[in-house]
Amino acid sequence: MQNGSRYIIATGVSSLGLSLLYFLSLVLRVPFFITVPAVFVSVLVIFRWVLKKDVIDEKKPVEKKEQYPFLASVILVAGVYLIVKGFFPVAEKYGGWDAWGIWNLHAKYLADPANWKKMFENALYAHADYPLYVPAVNGFFIRLFSEKYLMVIPFIFHFSITLFIPVLIYLEILEKNIVVAATVFFLFAIDTFYLTKGATQYADTALAFFFLCAFVCINHADEGKGRKYITLAAACLGCCIWTKNEGSILALIFILGYPNSFFSKNNIKAFAMGLGAPLLVFLIFKMFYATDGAIISSHKGAFSQLFVASRYQVIYKYFIENLNAKFYYVKVCFFIYLLICLLEMKGPDKQFFLLLCCMGAYALVYVLSPGGGGVEWLLGTSQERLMHQLMPALMYVLSQRFAHVQFSLPRKNEVLLSKKKAF
């Protein structure tokens, strides 16, 4: 794994540890002067553990190292500049409606150790069933640096997550194909919709980040050798669960897609170590604090809607409209991927089908949602965000396949070899 990727994933997993510890400190009424050093020690331990190289990484063949370090650095700087330039104009002062009405409001509650439980009394409007990864991280730093930074801290947090996603994909594809890596990086950098969703300060981008990290980590896992990456993949799935309710759907589908990797004799302990803590805290939250906010269970006759054709039609209509208006380049890449599969006479890989299952699961939730105008309201307010959650992982999976198509710049050693052959 690239060193830059290690730092990004270490930051994400460390923030998970921070979020879990801070929430537990509120539950157990631990004084803040004890919580702060405990949090920072745990973050340091996680960071050092993730950054520590394994034997399998140290034995990487030399030829896999990036052959164009200067060009790669220029592309990275240019892409980051474009993201910064595009992010600030679309950022609202207090974030989008869900930011100041839900996520940042929850953070403000969690920054108050005496009154944080009152958040659950506002069950009708505050969505007190939403998991607390984002609010707990922001609430910790708001409490640490004082409430006057209430606007600054969430902004920095969400900007970082928005930046991490394309940089992580770029770094992971870079050593395979610099042309594909640069192309995908710049597609993200100029994607106004992607940057806008990050700037809204909703939890969807954080969920997209951790789901992407799970794909990256599982690709680095190797049976009997890469148990650290199994733990990291499981921790990232745990953070999906702790970030949003739909993260549980994504985590379950992912785990079912890799039973041999997660449940093998060699890896089961590593898997439990990564998923155990976030899953336990999530269950504590759901059983003792969260209100009932399930969409499907809130009305009778939900399963009879499986046979209502009009519901599928309206879901498909919204999907196509969102796809063409906000994810057009993803659509193009999707069909290029299928074309490459056809030309190579090879089927799509497992991760591609896994993401299709996630899309299908989300569609099923809409099918089972309340009748009448309820489904159209849900589609209009949430479908683009659910697509946004899956888009980074999908682009990563597509890029992995594109990276093996031979239209990249020739490597230096290949140029030298061709010159020798010419003589």
CA atoms within 13 A on the CB side of 166: 27
Q: pLDDT digit string (tens) for 238-271? A: 999 999 999 999 999 999 999 989 998 888 999 9
pLDDT tens sequence across 276-327 = 999 999 999 999 988 776 555 455 566 777 777 888 999 999 999 999 999 9
DSSP one-letter code for 403: T
Per-residue pLDDT of 97-146, as tens digits, reads 899 889 999 999 999 999 999 988 876 777 888 999 999 999 999 999 97
Calpha distance 237→168 (Å, rounded):
17
pLDDT at 60 over 60: no
Amino acid 416: pLDDT: 46
- pLDDT one-digit tens code per residue, 322-366: 999 999 999 999 999 999 999 888 889 999 999 999 999 999 999
What SS3 class is residue 177? coil
Closest to 159 measured CA to CA, from 169, 148, 171, 151: 151
Q: How many CB atoms neighbour CB 192 within 10 A?
A: 12
Closest by CA to 16, choosing from 262, 255, 256, 231, is 231
- What per-residue confidence (pLDDT) applies to 66? 55
| Helical H segments across 327-411, by residue range | 328-344, 350-367, 374-402
pLDDT digits (tens, 9 = 90+) for 198-229: 999 999 999 999 999 999 999 998 645 578 99
In this structure, of 67-71, 159-163, 363-367, the range with the lowest mean pLDDT score is 67-71
Average pLDDT over residues 366-389: 84
What sign does the dihedral 29-32-34-36 (CA atoms) show? positive
Residues 6 or more apart in contact with residue 230 via CB below 8 angstroms: 217, 218, 221, 261, 262, 267, 270, 271, 274
Question: Tell me, what's the pLDDT at 306?
Answer: 79
What percentage of the chain has pLDDT greater than the value 70?
88
Q: Average pLDDT of the chain? A: 87
How many angstroms separate the CA atoms of 421 and 408, rounded?
Answer: 21
Closest CA to 103 of 64, 60, 151: 151
What is the arithmetic mean of pLDDT over 61-78?
75
pLDDT at 423 over 50: no
Say yes or no to pLDDT of 69 above 70: yes
Q: Which amino acid is at 235?
A: A
Of 69, 51, 57, 56, which is closest to residue 7 (Cα–Cα)? 51
Which one, of 298, 303, 300, 294, lies nearest residue 368 by Cα?
Answer: 303
pLDDT: is 220 or 375 the higher one?
220
Q: What are the angstrom distances between the C-alpha of 55 and each of 199, 225, 226, 271, 379?
A: 39, 9, 10, 20, 48
CB contact at 8 A, 82 and 190: yes
Query: Cβ–Cβ contacts within 10 Å for residue 120, how many?
Result: 15
Residue 409 has pLDDT above 70, yes or no: no
Q: How far apart are CA 220 and CA 1, in angstroms?
A: 7
pLDDT higher at 263 or 373: 263
Looking at residue 406, its pLDDT comes to 58
Answer yes or no: are the C-beta atoms of 204 and 388 closer than 8 Å.
yes
Sign, CA torsion 54/59/64/65:
positive
